[in-house]
């Protein structure tokens, strides 16, 4: 039975350091990672500002929205708006300008709507909501002492969100496939040969693609539903930080889009 996986969880400082390191060595990702590193610094501050007392385990994923502090998230937005306005891409900058004139209640309502239906949100709302709520969700997961009581399936057993990526973690002479949540960063075991979107299990319909110069990250596609996610293989590069290396390998996302694959969950940078 799949269980949550806490071994190897990374700190915000580790994520920041990895983003800076990859920006220095990957010309194609330098601009994106420079901006992402600023976002990680902001998220680290949000994470550290939260109370750390132990919390009772959530009984099911629908309880997470009620546990998140949307008021606190709204208060954090002005600082994020300034970061985006000064350093972000123009599309996000325009969205930041609109948020600047929103009331606290309007902001809170927007975050609440996103939590209820993130797949229906535009890219600007998705970015700002995920940036301010990811640190809270991760902190809640860490303090809840959560253990899934049933088969985890293809969605996060803690908060119900889509997986962001797969991680191949060393185990014995091989590797174990783990899915990582796009919101709370929790991880759970998942079958090695199985599409997380549609359940296809025929290996011939589950192609994997890699690119020259990107040794540890690859596309895991499904020819049945045309979905994909990226996997980060820690048996190939033990220094990789999955959630950062996933953002740093945008060329793989471009390749997948050109071949008519649809990503199960866009990353925080929107690809």
pLDDT tens digit sequence for 7-54: 457 899 999 999 999 999 888 789 999 999 999 999 999 999 986 554
Name 39's Cβ contacts closer than 8 Å, sequence gap at least 6.
80, 83, 131, 268
pLDDT at 2: 42
pLDDT at 1: 37
Mean pLDDT of 77-84: 96
Of 181, 177, 146, 178, nearest in space to 162 by CA: 181
pLDDT per residue as tens digits for the range 53-68: 545 555 455 567 778 9
Q: Is position 156 within any domain?
A: no
Domain of 19 in residue numbering reads as: 12-144
Number of domains in the chain: 2
**pTM value surpassing 0.85:** yes
* Mean pLDDT estimate for the chain: 88
Q: Is position 249 within any domain?
A: yes
> Which is more confidently placed, 60 or 174?
174
pLDDT at 93: 94
Q: State what percent of residues in the chain have pLDDT above 90.
A: 66
- Of the three residues 144, 171, 187, the one that is the final residue of a domain is 144
Mean pLDDT of 119-136: 93
Name 1's Cβ contacts closer than 8 Å, sequence gap at least 6.
150, 151
Q: Is position 154 within any domain?
A: no
Domain check: are 54 and 88 in the same one?
Answer: yes
HEC readout, 90-119: HHHHHHHHHHHCCCHHHHHHHHHHHHHCHH
Domain check: are 127 and 199 in the same one?
Answer: no
Domain check: are 17 and 138 in the same one?
Answer: yes
Q: Among 27-31, 70-74, 161-165, 241-245, where is mean pLDDT lowest?
A: 27-31
Domain check: are 178 and 127 in the same one?
Answer: no
Domain check: are 136 and 171 in the same one?
Answer: no
pLDDT at 5 over 90: no
């Amino acid at each position: 039975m799949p269980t949550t996986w806490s071994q190897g969880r990374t700190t915000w400082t580790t994520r920041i350091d990895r983003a800076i390191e990859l920006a220095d060595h990957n010309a194609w990702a330098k601009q994106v990672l420079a901006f992402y590193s600023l976002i990680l610094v902001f998220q680290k501050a949000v994470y550290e500002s939260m109370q750390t007392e132990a919390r009772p385990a959530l009984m099911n994923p629908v309880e997470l929205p009620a546990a998140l502090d949307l008021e606190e998230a709204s208060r954090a937005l002005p600082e994020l708006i300034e970061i985006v306005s000064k350093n972000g891409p123009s599309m996000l900058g325009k969205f930041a300008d609109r948020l600047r004139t929103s009331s606290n209640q309007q902001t809170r309502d927007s975050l609440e709507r996103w939590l209820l239906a993130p797949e229906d949100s535009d890219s600007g709302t998705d970015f700002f909501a995920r940036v301010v709520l990811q640190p809270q969700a991760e902190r809640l997961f860490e303090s809840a002492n959560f253990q899934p009581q049933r088969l985890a399936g293809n969605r996060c057993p803690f908060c119900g969100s889509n997986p962001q990526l797969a991680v191949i973690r060393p185990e014995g002479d091989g590797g174990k496939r783990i899915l990582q949540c796009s919101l709370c960063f929790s991880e759970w075991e998942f079958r090695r040969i199985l599409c997380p979107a549609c359940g296809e299990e025929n290996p011939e319909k589950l192609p994997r693609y890699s690119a020259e110069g990107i040794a540890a990250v690859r596309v895991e596609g499904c020819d049945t539903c045309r979905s994909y996610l990226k996997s980060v293989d820690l048996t190939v590069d033990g220094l990789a930080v999955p959630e950062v290396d996933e953002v740093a390998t945008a060329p793989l996302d471009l390749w997948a889009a050109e071949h008519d694959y649809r990503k199960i969950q866009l990353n925080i940078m929107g690809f």
